[in-house]
């Protein structure tokens, strides 16, 4: 069941990741009666080109590769939509965005492992960590609204190399 998610491997079949993600996104939006419009889908697809967080202006460049004329605002609006619907996360320490690995699974925590060698970023999603955090915070009389956990280091694959 609650298996520890493996860190994305260098040579994995990423086309499947992307396809899965887009399919799930369609389902989530259908369920929520949110409209996954063309630009939103394009942005999501761009974000899913890899497991490396991508900047808003990189997304923009990608969209405009073939002579498009999309403006930054459109990208940010699409990203806002995708974040509101739990399809994309923002990595604050990088000012960049990454596809959510747990669409629709209502995961509360946004915890990330960021390899500063290959850039690959994965969701940690540790329940014990979440508990420790909740405990520590409530001990201090603080009420949580949102949290950011971003851990930078070296991923297993880069470490092996």
Chain residues binding Zn ion by CB under 5 A are 14, 17, 115, 117-118, 155, 158
Q: How far apart are CA 132 and CA 138, in angstroms?
A: 10
2 binds a second copy per the rule CB under 8 A = no
Q: Could you say which of 17, 22, 52, 56 contacts DNA (CB under 7 A)? A: 56
16 binds DNA per the rule CB under 7 A = no
Q: Please report how close the Cβ of residue 69 comes to a second copy at its closest, in angstroms.
A: 29
Cβ closest to a second copy, residue 35 vs residue 116 = 116
Binding site partner of 76, from Zn ion, DNA, a second copy, none, Cβ cut-off 5-8 A by kind: DNA
Q: How far apart are CA 2 and CA 66, in angstroms?
A: 42
Q: How far apart are CA 25 and CA 138, in angstroms?
A: 34
Binding site partner of 132, from Zn ion, DNA, a second copy, none, Cβ cut-off 5-8 A by kind: a second copy
CB atoms closer than 10 angstroms to residue 159: 10
Q: Please report how close the Cβ of residue 135 comes to DNA at its closest, in angstroms.
A: 31
Beta-carbon contacts of residue 116 (< 8 Å; ≥ 6 apart): 152, 153, 154
17 binds DNA per the rule CB under 7 A = no
Of 108, 119, 36, nearest in space to 78 by CA? 36
């Amino acid at each position: 069941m609650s298996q520890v998610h493996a860190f994305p491997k260098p040579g994995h079949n990423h086309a499947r990741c992307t396809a899965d993600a887009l399919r799930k996104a369609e389902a989530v939006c259908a369920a929520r009666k949110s409209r996954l419009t063309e630009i939103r889908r394009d942005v999501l697809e761009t974000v899913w080109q890899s497991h490396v967080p991508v900047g808003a202006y990189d997304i923009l460049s990608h969209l405009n590769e073939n002579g498009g004329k999309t403006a930054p605002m459109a990208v940010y609006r699409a990203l806002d939509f995708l974040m509101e619907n739990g399809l994309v996360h923002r990595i604050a320490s990088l000012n960049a965005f990454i596809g959510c690995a747990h669409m629709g699974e209502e995961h509360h925590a946004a915890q990330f492992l960021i390899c500063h060698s290959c850039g690959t970023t994965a969701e940690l999603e540790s329940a014990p960590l979440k508990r420790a955090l909740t405990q520590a915070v409530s001990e201090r009389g603080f009420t949580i609204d949102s949290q950011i956990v971003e851990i930078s280091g070296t991923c297993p694959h880069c470490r092996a190399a």
